[in-house]
């Protein structure tokens, strides 16, 4: 058996154990201090550790059984781990926002809105970044100026959504967000203005 094939689930298992240790330490700190952020750490890292342990067990079982079944089962375990990781990160985000605004009781009602806005802006930034890279690859192959402009336009729009995370801490970054969006839209106008009519 290839030893490198077993290293992957081994490190996955070790990561799961470490995450469980972090969760237990966070629970201890929560019992000592009563700070809710430690409770968030405990829940989140418990989920991360559980997902890593489950995936390592599934990987070992599939490696020992059949290579043919390893690919779909590994894809399923990876999807399960991604879902549990997403839930754990949302838990961390919730407790981080909750502790940040705990001094103002009314602001706690805004936590779900901040979570939704953060998630949507992150997804928007990733989609636009993917579009930018996709068009950039096409530009490298074709060397069309319009594709370079579109790629840069997508990238600037992606930066405008990324600026949201800075704006949460520094309100001045609102200027950056609007500036990136403005420049990105200008590039799309430039690209569209250069489009020539195709005669049928």
* Whether residues 89 and 24 fall in one domain: yes
* Whether residues 73 and 147 fall in one domain: no
Q: What is the pLDDT of residues 84-139, one digit of tens each?
A: 777 887 787 777 766 665 554 555 555 666 677 777 878 888 888 898 998 888 88
pLDDT given at position 198: 46
- Structural domain that includes position 19: 3-100
**Whether this model's pTM surpasses 0.75:** no
In the chain, the percentage of residues whose pLDDT exceeds 70 is 74
* Whether residues 96 and 116 fall in one domain: no
* Whether residues 80 and 122 fall in one domain: no
Query: What is the DSSP secondary-structure string of the chain?
Result: --HHHHHHHHHHHHHHHHHHHHHHHHHHHHHHH--HHHHHHHHHHHHHHHHHHHHHHHHHHHHHH-HHHHHHHHHHHHHHHHHHHHHHHHHHHHHHHHHHTTTSGGGGGGHHHHHHHHHHHHHHHHHHHHHHHHHHHHHHHH--HHHHHHHHHHHHHHHHHHHHHHHTT-TTHHHHHHHHHHHHHHHHHHHHHTPPPPP-
200 falls in which pLDDT band (50, 70, 90)? Answer: very low
Q: What is the pLDDT of residues 50-65, one digit of tens each?
A: 888 888 888 777 777 6
Q: Which residue has the higher pLDDT, 180 or 97?
A: 180
Say whether pLDDT at 199 is over 60: no
Q: Does a structural domain hold residue 198?
A: no
Q: Does a structural domain hold residue 200?
A: no
141 falls in which pLDDT band (50, 70, 90)? Answer: confident
């Amino acid at each position: 058996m290839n030893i490198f094939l077993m290293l992957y689930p081994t490190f996955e298992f070790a990561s799961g154990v470490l995450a469980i240790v972090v969760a237990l330490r966070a629970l201890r700190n929560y019992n000592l201090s009563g700070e809710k952020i430690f409770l968030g750490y405990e829940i989140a890292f418990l989920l991360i550790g559980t997902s890593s342990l489950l995936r390592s067990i599934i990987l070992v079982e599939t490696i020992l059984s059949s290579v043919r079944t390893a690919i779909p089962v590994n894809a399923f375990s990876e999807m399960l781990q991604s879902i549990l990781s997403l839930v754990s990160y949302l838990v961390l985000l919730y407790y981080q926002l909750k502790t940040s605004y705990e001094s103002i009781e009314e602001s706690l009602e805004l936590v779900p809105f901040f979570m939704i806005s953060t998630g949507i802006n992150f997804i928007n930034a990733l989609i636009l970044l993917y579009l930018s890279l996709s068009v950039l690859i096409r530009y490298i192959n074709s060397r069309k100026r319009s594709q370079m402009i579109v790629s840069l336009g997508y990238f600037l729009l992606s930066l405008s959504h990324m600026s949201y995370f800075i704006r949460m801490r520094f309100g001045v970054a609102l200027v950056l967000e609007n500036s990136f969006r403005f420049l990105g839209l200008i590039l799309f106008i430039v690209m569209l203005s250069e489009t020539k009519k195709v005669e049928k």
